[in-house]
Amino acid sequence: MAHLLLLLVLVIAAAPAGAAETAPAAVQAFDTPNDQGHSITLTWRRREVLPDSARYRIGVSERAEGPFHHVAELDPKTTPTMADEPATFGSDDDNRNRHFALIESYRDSEGQDRIRIENGKAYFIRIGIHGGGYTVVEARARGNYFNSTKTGNFALAGLFSVLILVYIRLARRKNLYIRRLAGLDALDEALGRATEMGKPVLFVHGLQDMGSPSTIAAVNILGQVAKRTAEYDTQLRVGNRDPIVMSVSQEVVKESCIEAGRPDAFNPDNVFLAAADQFSYAAALEGLMVREKPATNLLMGYFYAESLLLAETGATTGAIQIAATDAYTQLPFFITTCDYTLMGEELYAASAYLSRDPKLLGSLKGQDLGKGIIILMLVLGSILAGFGFWPLLS
Amino acid sequence: MYFLQRTLPLLVAFVAGVIGIFTYYVPVAQPVEITTSTWYRIIAAFALFLGIHSLLQMHWRRIRRNQAGWAFSAVVYIGFIVTIALAVYNNGKGPLQPLAPGDGLDLNWMYTHVHVAGGATMFSLLAFFIASAAYRTFRARSAEAVVLLVAALLVMLGRVPIGALISEHLPEVSQWLMATPNLAARRGILLGVSLGAIATALRIIFGIERSYLGEEGQ
């Protein structure tokens, strides 16, 4: 509501006599909420009956008396209403009866270049119907310091963050029980098998880049895997699609080898760019699986259609396969073709679980409690909805 | 040395993480996000050279050592050289001009008739892989497999015309399976993933998770 209090809505001029009833009614202009500034939102009442040729014309001036520079000409039939943007304007029933337009720039006097709306400067905005009256209002744009549409998100993220940090602290003092993850318990067995067979372990990141949380989680797991393979003196092959992920993976494997006391185990050629395109990447890794027959395939990260191509090829070569993904559309393929599959959040838990570090395990406990709260809210919501308490829910 | 290898990466992770959170909630800080994503693109452009170097080095080693499948590596080299040559020639316009359209063998032709066709071939292999994976799964060796088999049959039948001929309720059952149990499971997974991502982010920002530095955690 703060931004509404700052609105300076002022009707400067009315339409000429005889045309007033044709001018847009209940016009308001205010700083566009939840943005970085340089934008003014104009709203006005929707007219039920207008001729097909009618157009709203919007102009902007730095002075009340003009001249007004062209901003836009809008067709009333296609101009959005405030109900189309519930995140910004809420869910008031009246929103269906009000149009809105965002004003971010206007044409200069020659009508050539567009001039950007400046923050803190007073602008006079004129809206009229072509051939009818017009209304002028004043407003200023400004940058917002908090996106109020993300308040719920902020509150929940804050609550879960506090829970996780509390449990990390708690974990320093006492042992916390963490449920077993079969796929990760089998990791040592899978790596041991590769060692006994004298065959490599293949690690695949999936398709996303380093900005994706699933790739970050996969790289964390890679660190743990690389340390174990270095200790077991087993070759680790890491096939990448993204050059940045490849560079990061090379560093992670190198650091893990050094930590394991086996810097000589690191070979940069084993962490390679397979291909930068989805199916070329799949083909390159399938070829590697068929030719080198790795004893263990670890498919960890975010996958798309290549998931089944990789996993099914790996299955035909007889490798132990452990997959971990948060791509729910690909989970069925991994479950059907891999020996163990870590679903969704388990991908993010894997690194902490493998490290056995109490503080990392504490964060998993906090995560579980967060899930418990969500489940409780869902059950409560279902009960309230079941008994018809819709006003309370909404 | 310890500062460069441990403290600095942790500091960078902390600052980058805090900036990411800050720009998500604070609209006036969005220009910072735009700047950092520009940096990322610049780094990505340079990293591409590292990627090309890695790719060519790996295949060169396989050719030199006559490893199994070395001929495929030779194809990578031929494809790479031909594509670069066509891009540089650019239908006679040179490499500094925009892509010039042509009728014969040019970069567009390579893309459409080699790259796209190869990708489509790989994608079409999925049909056979789905069939073999489904055969293994649907052998109904356990109660879960039976549930999966029955659900899959109902969904598949409900989505083809013959399903409606067998029973007019099949499309509705199929729709219900997708919109209710399937969607509920999907949302459950997404909620867990979101919490997992928050926990991972916090562990990295506060330097508790150090696997990416080769450490077990501190």
Cβ separation A213–B192 shorter than 8 A: no
- Calculate how close chain A gets to B91, using CA atoms only, in Å: 25
pLDDT above 60 (res A12): no
**CB distance B214–A371 less than 8 Å?**
no
pLDDT band at B140 (very low <50, low <70, confident <90, very high): low
For residues A365-390, give the mean pLDDT: 87
> Taking CA B68 as the corner, what is the angle to CA B62 and CA B74, rounded to the nearest 5 degrees?
50
pLDDT for the residue numbered A81: 92
Average pLDDT of chain A to the nearest whole number = 87
CA distance A45 to chain B (A): 28
By Cβ distance, the residue of A211, A291, A367 closest to B195 is A367
What are B63-107's pLDDT values in tens digits?
Answer: 999 988 899 999 999 999 999 999 999 888 888 888 887 777 888
B179 touches chain A (CB under 8 A): no
Rounded to the nearest angstrom, the gap between the alpha carbon of residue A124 and the centroid of all alpha carbons in its chain is 37
Instruction: Tell me if A309 and B204 make a contact (CB, 8 A cut-off).
Output: no
Q: Side chain identity at A305, as an amino acid letter?
A: A
For A:249-288, CB contacts with B below 8 A are 252, 254-259, 268-269, 271-280, 282-283, 287
| pLDDT on residue A20 | 43
Q: Do A213 and B25 touch (CB under 8 A)?
A: no
**Is B136–A258 a contact, with Cβ atoms under 8 angstroms apart?**
no
Q: What local confidence, expressed as pLDDT, does residue B216 receive? A: 56
pLDDT higher at A180 or A372 = A372
Residues 6+ apart with CB under 8 A from B213: A223, A252, A255, B5, B6, B9, B10
Rounded to whole angstroms, the Cα distance separating A193 from A195 reads 5
CB-based contact, B202 to chain A, within 8 Å: yes
Chain A CA closest to residue B42: A244
**Could B189 and A326 be called an inter-chain contact, meaning their C-beta atoms sit closer than 8 Å?**
yes
Q: What is the pLDDT of residues A240-270, one digit of tens each?
A: 999 999 999 999 999 999 989 999 999 988 9
Of the candidates B27, B115, B203, which has its C-beta nearest A34's C-beta? Answer: B27
Q: Is residue B7 predicted with pLDDT exceeding 90?
A: no
Residue A257 to residue B58, Cβ atoms within 8 A: no
CA distance A274 to chain B (A): 7
As a whole number, mean pLDDT of residues B158-168 equals 92
Q: What is the DSSP string of A186-222?
A: HHHHHHHHHHHHT--EEEEEES--TTSHHHHHHHHHH
Instruction: In chain A, count H helices and then E strands.
Output: 12, 15
Distance from CA of B132 to the nearest CA of A (A): 8
Q: What pLDDT score was predicted for residue A357? A: 80
Mean pLDDT of B39-48: 90
What order do you get walking across the sheet with A271-273 strand by strand? A271-273, A236-240, A201-206, A296-302, A320-325, A340-343
Residues of B in contact with A346 (CB under 8 A): 196
Average pLDDT, integer, range A310-330 = 93
| Subunit contact B122:A328, Cβ cutoff 8 A | no
In this complex, do A216 and B200 lie within 8 Å of one another by their Cβ atoms? yes
pLDDT at A203 over 70: yes
- Chain A residue numbers with beta carbons less than 8 Å from the beta carbon of B122 are 279, 282-283, 309
Structure token pair of residue B129: 């892989």
Contact A322/A338 with Cβ under 8 angstroms?
yes
- Per-window interface: B 73-112 vs A, CB < 8 A: none
Is B57 within 8 Å of A247 when comparing Cβ atoms?
no
**According to the per-residue pLDDT averaged within each range, which of A6-10, A62-66, A88-92, B163-167 is highest?**
B163-167
Residues A74-108: tens digit of each pLDDT:
888 889 999 998 888 887 888 899 999 999 998 88
Size of interface A-B (CB pairs under 8 A): 220
Chain A residues lying within 8 Å of B69, measured CB to CB: 287, 291
Neighbours of B210 (CB within 10 A): 25
**Predicted confidence band of residue A9 (pLDDT cuts 50, 70, 90):** very low
Touching check for A30 and chain B: CB below 8 Å?
Answer: no
Task: State whether residue B217 sits within 8 Å of chain A by CB.
Answer: yes
**Is the pLDDT score of B1 beyond 80?**
no
Question: Please, what's the largest Cα pairwise distance for chain B?
Answer: 74
From B78's Cα to the closest Cα of chain A, the distance in A is 15
Residues of chain A with Cβ-Cβ distance to B193 below 8 Å are 326, 344-345, 347-348
pLDDT at A250: 93
In percent, the amount of chain A with pLDDT more than 90 equals 52
pLDDT in tens, A48-83: 778 888 888 899 999 888 788 989 888 888 899 999
8 A C-beta contact, residue A308 and residue A337: yes
Provide, rounded to the nearest whole percent, the portion of chain A with pLDDT above 70. 93
User: 3-state SS of A26-45?
Assistant: CCEEEECCCCCCCCEEEEEE
Comparing CB atoms, the residue among B24, B72, B212 nearest residue A219 is B212
Q: What is the mean pLDDT of residues A30-50?
A: 90
**Band of residue A363 on the pLDDT scale cut at 50, 70, 90:** confident
